[in-house]
Structure 1
Amino acid sequence: MFKKADGTLTIPTIIFTGLLLATPITALASSGCEVLKGCKKKFCEIEKQLNIATQADQSDKVAGLTKALKEAKSHCTNKGIREELIEEIEEERKEILDDEKDLRRAQKDNKADKVRKYQEKINQKTNRVMQLESELSALD
């Protein structure tokens, strides 16, 4: 069933074996980025996206990610990443303040659907801020 009469493997067997062997490598590549910090993490994440785009034969995306990786490797610094994280945290906090104003207005107007909408946006952005702060503290 797995081998032909001449002893060679069948095509389905070769493909299945290849998939089995490739899966752990993919799993290791995806889990590896989380333990990295700073520029190394950024490179890893771009490389992961690049591998996915390559496997999906998305040539335009491959070209863009290849360029992004080259640029990141040329210009990335942990100080720059720190500054980007701080800027993103500040922007999210400003948006939370705007959403809180909208939430109070919706509460005042007794618009339950809008209250729910703004509360959800605030929760999502608050979670994002906590994630960004965690990334920032991990750079230390």
Structure 2
Amino acid sequence: MIKALSLLLTVTVTVLSGLLFFFSAAPAQASLNCAGLTGCDRKFCEIESQLKIAQERGNDRKAAGLAKALAEAKQHCTAEGLRKELAEEIEEAREDLAAYRADLKEAEEDGDADDIRKYQQKIEEEQDEIDQLEKELSGLN
């Protein structure tokens, strides 16, 4: 009886682990398929990948929104438009970075260790985002 229960528990945990891996890895796998593309082709690929995932998961509202976004992108996407969008995103990220640095300075003045760690983490994440956006922008040139 205990062996049967143990086996059932092991099988259940294995199945759940596999499902968790599948659903958490699907977006990553989808973006990997688009990694070799640039510009509008990459944008279309990424939207199509997200659309496929939404459809597979039965998320009809998200799928409808993504289908609309894909149609809009295919109608209006240009390399210059993408450059402009990326430049705007970089500027917004730099503004966020400056705000986080000001918050960090204030936290350091207050001696708040938790806030110091929090803002250091946010600064690092924001800098990584800026680096990624700049890399994407340079790939369009």
TM-score per shorter chain, which class? 0.7 to 0.9
Q: How does 1:95-110 map to 2 (within 5 A)?
A: 95-110=96-111
Residue 59 (structure 1) shift: 1.2
| 1:47 alignment partner in structure 2 | 48
Query: 2:111 corresponds to which letter in structure 1?
Result: N
| CA shift for structure 1 position 61 | 1.3
- How much does 1:45 deviate? 0.3
Distance 1:121 1:38, change over 3 A: same
Query: Following superposition, which runs of at least 4 residues in structure 1 exceed 3 angstroms of deviation?
Result: 27-30
* Equivalent residue number for residue 94 of structure 1: 95
State TM-score, norm by structure 1. Answer: 0.77
Task: Give the 5 Å matches for 1:61-140.
Answer: 61-140=62-141
Equivalent pairs, count: 114
CA distance in 1 between counterparts of 2:105 and 2:84 reads 32
Query: How many Å apart are 1:37 and its aligned residue?
Result: 0.5
Identity %: 52
Higher mean displacement: 27-36 or 39-48: 27-36
Rounded Cα–Cα distance in structure 2 between residues aligned with 1:35 and 1:110: 46
| CA deviation after TM superposition for structure 1 residue 31, in Å | 2.7
Give secondary structure in 2 for the equivalent of 1:35.
coil
Cα distance in 2, alignment partners of residues 99 and 62 from structure 1 = 35
The amino acid of 1:116's aligned partner reads R
Shift in Å, 1:28: 8.0
Question: Tell me, which stretches of 5 or more residues in structure 2 are unaligned?
Answer: 1-27
Q: Which amino acid aligns with 2:69?
A: A
Aligned-residue offset at 1:29 = 5.8
Instruction: Summarize the Cα distance change of 1:74–1:124 in structure 2 as closer, same or farther, 3 Å threshold.
Output: same
> 1:91-136 CA distances to partner (integer Å, 9 max, x unpaired)?
1111111111111111111111111111110000000000000000
Please say which structure displays the higher CA radius of gyration.
1
What displacement does 1:32 show? 2.6
Higher helix share: 2
Scaled by the length of structure 2, what TM-score is found? 0.77
Which digits, 9 at most, give the CA deviation of each residue in 1:68-97, with x for residues without a partner? 100000001110000000010011111111
